[in-house]
A = this chain, B = another copy of it.
Amino acid sequence: MIVLEVRTRRRQEFVNVTHSVAEAVARLGVENGAVLVYSPHTTAAVVIQEGADPAVAADIIARLELLAPTGDPRYQHREGNADAHIKTALLGNDKVIPVRGGRLLLGTWQQIFLAEFDGPRRRELWVKAL
């Protein structure tokens, strides 16, 4: 298993980790199979989405903020990041991606993102061959 370190810069942002995951796949020597990209956090998710237009990530973050606003007084969790837990639960923290010929098999428009909802922080992603 390879541990990727990801530095996030804002409270909420998508950080493109496609290149780092592809490198991890090469280092793990996965030839044919799949790879698990796992966020060990409860306020940061893993998402596979379009990377060409950064507006897509911005739209996803903005919509999640409408659905689960930061600081809604109805939250019971008192650490000020209940919204981040909800957003992470909605996007999920584990993604499985096929690998063939030693290469990540992503769709044409797909990129892999760490979705930060309670940054800035130092985050990890765990990459494991399946």
Interface residues of A (CB under 8 A from B): 1, 33-34, 36, 38-42, 47-50, 53, 55-56, 58-60, 62-63, 67-68, 74-79, 82, 85-86, 88-98, 100, 105-110, 124, 126, 128, 130
Contacts and interface: CB of A to CB of B under 8 A. Distances in A.
A89 B42 contact: no
A89 B47 contact: yes
B38 A96 contact: yes
A100 B41 contact: no
Nearest to A127: B98
A98 B74 CA distance: 34
Contact of A40 (B67, B88, B108): B108
Contacts of A77: 53, 55-56, 58-59
A118 B89 CA distance: 19
A110 B93 CA distance: 10
A48 B93 contact: yes
A16 to B, nearest CB: 13
A40 B1 contact: no
Given A62-B74, A94-B97, A55 B34 contact: no
A16 B97 CA distance: 22
B98 A96 contact: no
